[in-house]
Amino acid sequence: MLNTEVAHSARLWNYLLGGKDNFAADREAAEYALALMPELVQSARANREFLGRVVRHLAGEAGIRQFLDIGTGLPTANNTHEVAQAVAPGSRIVYVDNDPMVLVHARALLTSTSEGATDYIDADANDVERILQDAAKTLDFTEPITIMLLGIVNFIVDDAAAHAVVARLVEAVPPGSYLVISHPTLEVNGPAVEQSMRQWNESGAAPITARSRDEIAGFFDGLELLDPGVVTCSAWRPDPRHPGITDKVSEFAGVGRKPA
């Protein structure tokens, strides 16, 4: 059910990125956070630029043709399928989100090249078995898959539960698959991030947590962590031709490969 009286992260992120799919509660929460942490817009944009760089790398140099994007958020420019299929038209993408607003706009995520495919699953990130079962209708789990968890693991505030979700997803994909995570941290602008998160959690919105670099790196245990490791997402393999956001932001990111 769509609740417009309580802020939702997908709609808040949409507002920060200049979108129009948001409500007064989302804008109020965003402006409060921006008053504490003006770099939040940069964080949102840097995270989106990171998505583009990592998908281009994995669809290009790494040769990955399948992506499971959990915590999709509202459609905007350069969605995962658009980036991947621009590099490799045969790419297959499954999106997962549980926000009714995202579901309304899901058809924008279901455009595809004739060679590839896209699908959308209305599910919570914690419902891993359902996600895997439904994703198998579009993705081939005997071939490498990239699991994308951008700005979503932070909504699983219990550490054991978060590790269990990530571990089950990684277990389900074959060697040569990749795990991509971006996650807020207190290691950049810590006091402002902490106060902003406290306000968010007291608002009645879905609870959120920050984790340290080492805690985020822990989700990649058993995987081959690609250089440069877990870093502020603006510093993950920046493209000198399109520098984008270059400042450190409070969103850290990493990419790991499942070994043979």
231's enclosing H/E stretch is: strand 231-232
**Residue 88: half-sphere exposure toward Cβ, Cα within 13 Å:** 20
pLDDT of residue 1: 55
Q: Whole-structure pTM over 0.95, yes or no?
A: no
Look at 199 and 179; give whichever has higher pLDDT: 179
Q: Name the average pLDDT for the chain.
A: 89
Which pLDDT value is given to residue 78? 84
> Considering only CA atoms, which of 152, 27, 15, 133 is closest in space to residue 74?
15
Of 24-33, 142-151, 226-235, the one with minimum mean pLDDT is 24-33
3-class DSSP state of 67 = strand
The two tokens of residue 173 are 């994909």
Bigger pLDDT: 102 or 233? 233
β-strands 117-122, 92-97 pairing = parallel
Cβ atoms of 119 and 138 closer than 8 Å: yes
Q: How many H helices and E strands in the chain?
A: 9, 8
Confidence band for 253, pLDDT divided at 50, 70 and 90? very high
Considering only CA atoms, give the Rg of the chain. 17
| pLDDT at 3 (0 to 100) | 65
pLDDT at 68: 98
Q: What is the mean pLDDT of residues 3-18?
A: 70
Q: Which residue has the higher pLDDT, 78 or 220?
A: 220
Least confident of 111-115, 146-150, 222-226: 111-115
3-state secondary structure of 211: coil
pLDDT band with cut points at 50, 70 and 90 for residue 175: very high
User: In whole angstroms, what is the distance from residue 198 CA to residue 193 CA?
Assistant: 9
> pLDDT value at position 158?
96
* Residue-wise pLDDT tens digits, 106-126: 777 788 999 999 999 999 999
pLDDT (tens digit, 9 = 90+) per residue, 52-77?
999 999 999 999 999 999 998 776 77
Q: What is the pLDDT of residue 106?
A: 76
Q: Is the pLDDT of residue 13 over 70?
A: no
